């Protein structure tokens, strides 16, 4: 079918420069469409508004609910956007589909392969594709690439998403291979992921988020320029780099729920650090620098490093194996000790102005007199506690 014949037969699909092909829901039987002309080109036109601003119209190609459409021929183009949904005979796309704004492929049960190419689209979304088993090596996109609910996809390698690569609910995914380049790599609800590339610090430039990858044993490397490193819920994680020092002023490190991790990095530096629920860790040694350290529920933790300084909040709630605080600890804002085994606040504990200390549930705790008398610290006390007399100050002999 050539373009003129196609347009004459399906003229109701051509609206304001867009082409939308719908099966089932229109009076005409568009589900009978089984082929498209190879010279189908949906163009986007630019016009000038009354204030001189340029506006765009048209350029969108949408194909929905065409069960017998098995192929989109090479040559089909859309200037603005392309979406194909519920076309269950379609297995791939032509490289000529290269719109500027977005590509969306969803609920196409036979779709197996997304072709390699240098795509202009600011967004590519591949969702609910049960047979998708390959993202062709060499794919590049100028924006985001989303892959969601594609259970047959086992690995990725040699692809590039300039802004973000998001992989979600892909139960078959086992490996992120080499040369996967992106700004932020996000992998969620993909519990069978087993490996990340050794050079991930070189291929991911802004941040790494891997949540709930229960079979992932190791984080091989870290880029100090990342603004986010989130490995929360990776219950099989046992190895992390010896140093995680994130230089950004608002960087966040999240290792919460990594219940198999026994040793933290010798150096941890980030604006916020969350290690909540790391139940296997017994000691934190080395250097810790952070505005906020969330360590609640680290039930095996017995030791913190001396001379640790936390600018705002140190939360140690439910660290029931912790019986003493480190030497020369400084907390600028909130110190939360509820549910710990700490029963004495040391004289060398340093607190910022208007700080508060929560020692509820720490019955019988010993508290220095000078802390009780301080007008700059708010104490949240248990039902019973003991006051430690103020230390005498030695005066030099006359």
- Domain borders along the chain are 1-106, 112-196, 217-398
Q: In whole angstroms, give the CA distance from residue 153 to residue 193.
A: 11
| pLDDT given for residue 395 in this prediction | 54
- What's the maximum distance between 2 C-alpha atoms anywhere in the chain? 112
pLDDT at 11: 80
pTM: 0.92
Mean pLDDT split into 10-residue runs, the chain, 398 residues: 79 85 62 82 73 70 90 94 95 94 97 94 97 93 96 96 97 96 98 97 97 97 97 97 95 98 95 98 95 98 96 97 97 97 96 95 95 90 93 61
**Helix locations, the chain, DSSP H:** 3-9, 200-203, 369-373
For residues 205 and 226, what is the distance between their CA atoms, to the nearest angstrom? 6
Q: Write down the pLDDT at residue 27.
A: 47
Per-residue pLDDT tens digits for 119-178 = 999 999 999 999 999 898 899 999 999 999 999 999 999 999 999 999 999 999 999 999
**pLDDT tens string 43-56:** 887 666 666 666 56
Strand partners, 331: 310, 351
Per DSSP, the three-state class of 84 is strand
pLDDT at 2: 76
Nearest to 242 by CA among 261, 207, 266: 266
CB 209 within 8 Å of CB 182: no
Half-sphere exposure of 106 (CA within 13 A, CB side): 14
* Residue 393: Cβ-neighbour burial (10 angstroms; 0-12, 13-18, 19+): exposed
Residue 392 DSSP class: P
Spatial distance between the Cα atoms of 163 and 9, rounded to a whole number of angstroms:
41
pLDDT score for 77 = 93
């Amino acid at each position: 079918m050539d373009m003129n014949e196609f347009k004459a037969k399906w003229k109701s699909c051509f609206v304001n420069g867009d082409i939308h092909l719908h099966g089932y829901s229109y009076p005409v039987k568009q589900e009978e469409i089984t082929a498209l002309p190879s010279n189908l080109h949906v163009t986007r036109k630019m016009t000038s508004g009354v204030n001189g601003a340029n506006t765009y119209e048209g350029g969108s190609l949408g194909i929905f609910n065409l069960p017998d459409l098995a192929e989109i021929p090479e040559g089909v183009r859309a200037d603005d956007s392309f979406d194909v949904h519920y076309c269950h005979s379609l297995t791939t796309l032509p490289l000529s589909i290269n719109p500027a704004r977005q590509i969306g492929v969803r609920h196409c049960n036979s779709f197996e392969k997304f072709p390699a190419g240098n795509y202009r689209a600011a967004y590519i979304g591949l969702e609910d594709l049960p047979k998708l088993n390959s993202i062709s090596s060499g794919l590049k996109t100028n924006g985001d690439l989303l892959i969601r609910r594609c259970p047959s996809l086992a690995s990725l390698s040699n692809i590039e998403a300039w802004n973000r690569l998001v992989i979600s609910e892909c139960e078959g995914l086992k490996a992120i291979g080499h040369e996967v380049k992106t700004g932020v790599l996000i992998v969620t609800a993909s519990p069978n992921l087993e490996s990340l590339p050794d050079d991930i610090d070189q291929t991911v430039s802004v941040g790494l988020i891997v949540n709930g990858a229960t079979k992932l044993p190791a984080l091989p490397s870290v880029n100090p320029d990342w603004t986010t490193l989130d490995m929360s819920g990776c219950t099989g994680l046992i190895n992390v780099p010896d140093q995680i020092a994130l230089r950004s002023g608002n960087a966040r490190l999240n290792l919460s729920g990594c219940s198999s991790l026994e040793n933290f990095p010798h150096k941890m530096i980030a604006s916020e650090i969350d290690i909540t629920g790391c139940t296997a860790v017994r000691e934190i040694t080395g250097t810790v620098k952070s505005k906020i350290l969330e360590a609640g529920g680290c039930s095996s933790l017995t030791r913190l490093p001396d001379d640790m300084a936390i600018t705002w909040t140190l939360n140690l709630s439910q660290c029931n194996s912790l019986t003493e605080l480190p030497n020369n600890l400084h907390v600028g804002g909130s110190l939360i000790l509820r549910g710990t085994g700490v029963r004495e606040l040391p004289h060398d504990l340093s607190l910022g102005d208007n700080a508060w200390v929560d020692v509820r549930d720490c019955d019988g705790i010993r508290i220095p007199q000078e802390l009780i008398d301080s007008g700059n610290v708010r104490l949240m006390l248990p039902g019973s506690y003991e006051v430690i007399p103020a230390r005498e100050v030695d005066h030099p002999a006359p």
